[in-house]
Amino acid sequence: CSSFDTAGTVLIHQYKYNFQALRGRWDVYMLQESGFGGRITAAMACHSSIKHPFEEATRILQVANSPYEEDHATNRNTQKTWDGRVLVVNRYDWGEDYYGEAEDGITVGEETLMGDGQRNSRWLVDYAQVMETMENSDDDVEEDWVYSGRGVRLVIFGEYIFGRFGLTEDHSAVQSFLMFSADTQLSKCCLQNDPTPNRFVYVPLTPEQRHSEKLADGSYLGYEWLRRSTADPEFFQNLVPPLGVESMIPLSEIQSILQRVNPKVTGIVEPQLQPEVLQLLNETMGVWIQSLGNKAETIESKDDLLKAALPNAYGPNQKHIHAQILKKFNNSDCTPLTTDSDMVHKVVPAGSKVWRFLTMDQVGRGMMYLLEEILELAGNCALDNGRNMLVPSDIRIAIINDEQFCEENLNRSQVFWPPDMVVTGQ
C-alpha cells in the first residue's frame, strides 16, 4: 500500500512492501556518463537470470524514470508501476549515514550546514548470511559484508539518491535494482564496458512523441497532479455537481480571449481536448454564477449583494480580484462575455433575485475578467511546458495555484476534480 503527501517541494512517500530478492548470484554494472571524464553516476544490479541488463534498465526507466528527466513517467508507486513491475524509492524514502560513510572515506556530495557531507552509497548484501554474522559475531559486520564477498557497496557521484527495484514477472521477488542520483543524466549514461558504444539507457522522446503520449495516457487532463491535493476530505463532499452548461461560452470566445491575453499560445486549444476544455471552463464559470445567485437570495439591495459577494473590493488591496470585478460591474464600457443566456438562466433562473440587482451584461463583464485572468495564467503554464496550445491541466493548475481563484470557488465543480476524488450521493 502507499500514500502521498507534500512538504515544501518534496513528495513524501509512505509505503509498505516486503519483497525477497531472487536467490543466487547478482552482478553489478556501473553506469557511466559519456563525456565529463566518464563519471560513474548510477549503478545497476541484476540477478544472474537477467541476461540483458541493458534491456532491464531501459524497461525500468520507461515505467519510473528519474524525476529530473523530461520523460519521467512517474515518481510514485501506483497501479501503473505495479503493472510495470517497478518499486519506486525516492530521495527521502531512506535514511542517511553521514558519520559511517565519512569513516569509510566517502565524502562526495552536498555539504550540510553541520559540515557532514550527504554521501551517496548503498549496501547490497546477502540477508541470510548477514543475519547469521550478526548473531554469531561482535565484529563490525559492515566491513565483513564486503570484504568476505557477501555484499557490495555501491557508490555514485551526486546528491539525492533514488532507487528503482525491478520485480519478476509474477511480482513475487526482486530481480534487479537501479540506483541513481539527482546528478545522474540518464540520457547520457551507458553501461560501463558495454560492447555497443553510446547505447544510452534512456533516450528522450521528441516533442511530437511526448505530446502524442500525453494525449494517449490522459496526462493532459491534470488528474494525477490534482491527486496530490491535501484538501480536507469535507471539501470533496461539498462540490457542485455538473450544471450541464458546457455550451454557455462558445469555443470561439475562449480562443479569442486567449489570443488577446497570451498571444504566444498560437495553437490556442488542443483540438483533441476541446470538449474537455469547454466543459471545464463553462462549469467553472457556472459555479461562480451560481454562487452569486445563492448569495442574492438572502439579500435585499444591490449594495448588500456586492458587499457579500465581493467583500475584498472595499479593502486597501485594490488589486484583489474582488476590486477588479466590481470595476467591471460598474464600467459599462467594458465588453461583456458572449454567452448563451439560456445556459446562464439554467444555472440562475430568470426569476432569481440576482437579476433584480445585476444585469446580464454586468455578470458577463465579471466573467470576462475572470476568464482573462485564468487563460493568461493557463497560457503561461502551457508555454512553461513547451507547448503552444492549451490543455485542461493548464487550466486546473492555473486555478488551484491561485488562492484568490480558490476563494471564489472556481475549484468547486465536480468536473474540476478526478472522478475518483469526488464524493457523490450526499
Question: Are 200 and 214 in the same domain?
Answer: no
Q: Are 262 and 389 part of one and the same domain?
A: yes
Q: What are the Cα distances from residue 350, in Å, to 20, 44, 337, 344, 359?
A: 67, 68, 18, 9, 11
**Shared domain check, 222 and 167:** no
User: Within this chain, do residues 277 and 340 fall inside the same structural domain, yes or no?
Assistant: yes
Query: What does DSSP say about strands 86-89 and 189-191: parallel, antiparallel, or unpaired?
Result: unpaired
Residue 149 lies in a domain: no
Query: Residue 321 has which C-alpha cell?
Result: 480580484
Helix locations, 358-422, DSSP H:
360-384, 392-400, 403-407
Burial of 150 (0-12, 13-18, 19+ CB in 10 A): middle
Low-confidence ranges of the chain (pLDDT < 70): 1-14, 36, 95-99, 107-119, 136-149, 229-230, 425-426
Domain assignment present for residue 143? The answer is: no
The H-or-E segment that residue 325 falls in is helix 321-330
Q: Does 281 map to a domain?
A: yes
Q: Are residues 172 and 287 in the same domain?
A: no
Q: Pairing state of beta strands 173-181 and 20-21?
A: parallel
Buried b or exposed e, range 117-141, using 16+ CB within 10 angstroms: bbbbbbebbbeebbeebeeeeeeeb
**Range of the structural domain that residue 329 is part of:** 210-421
The structural domain count of the chain equals: 2
First to last CA, the chain: 28
- The answer on 283 and 181 residing in a single domain is no
Beta bridge pairs of residue 317: none
Here the CATH number for the domain that contains residue 363 is 1.10.20.10
Determine contact, residues 40/31, Cβ cutoff 8 Å.
Answer: yes
pLDDT recorded at residue 247: 92
Query: Would you say residue 148 lies in a domain?
Result: no
Whether residue 51 lies inside any domain: the answer is yes
Q: And the C-alpha cell for 309?
A: 459577494
Say if CB 173 and CB 167 are below 8 A apart. Answer: yes
Is 366 in contact with 344 (CB distance < 8 Å)?
Answer: no
Does residue 118 contact residue 112 with C-beta atoms inside 8 Å?
Answer: yes
* Domain closes at, from 204, 234, 267: 204
- DSSP strands (E only) in 39-185: 40-47, 86-89, 110-111, 117-118, 121-125, 151-155, 161-167, 173-181
Say if 268 falls within a structural domain.
yes
What's this model's pTM, rounded to 2 decimal places?
Answer: 0.76
CA 167/CA 174 separation, integer angstroms = 4
Structure confidence at residue 55 (pLDDT) = 97
Claim to verify: residue 240 and residue 95 sit in the same structural domain: no
Distances (CA, A) of 229 to 117, 169, 403, 411: 33, 33, 14, 12
Which of 128, 405, 386 is CA-nearest to residue 395?
405
Distance between CA 187 and CA 204 in Å, rounded?
Answer: 7
Which of 14, 67, 42 lies closest to 191, judged by CA? 42
pLDDT at 114: 47
Q: Would residue 130 count as lying in a domain?
A: no
Q: Cβ–Cβ contacts within 10 Å for residue 61, how many?
A: 24
Residues 375 and 317 reside in one and the same domain: yes
Count of other CB atoms within 10 angstroms of residue 10: 11
Residue 134 lies in a domain: no
Distances (CA, A) of 139 to 78, 135, 146, 153, 368: 41, 10, 13, 18, 74
Q: What separation in angstroms does the CA of 73 have from each of 94, 131, 178, 213, 271?
A: 21, 37, 16, 10, 24
Kindly state whether residues 189 and 215 are assigned to the same domain: no
pLDDT for the residue numbered 230: 64
Residue 176 and residue 276 in one domain: no
**Is-contact 186 57, C-beta < 8 A?**
no
Domain boundary among 204, 239, 269: 204
> Are 244 and 161 found together in one domain?
no
Count of all residues that appear for the chain in the document: 426
Average pLDDT, the chain: 87
Give the pLDDT of residue 142: 58
Is 197 found in the same domain as 214?
Answer: no
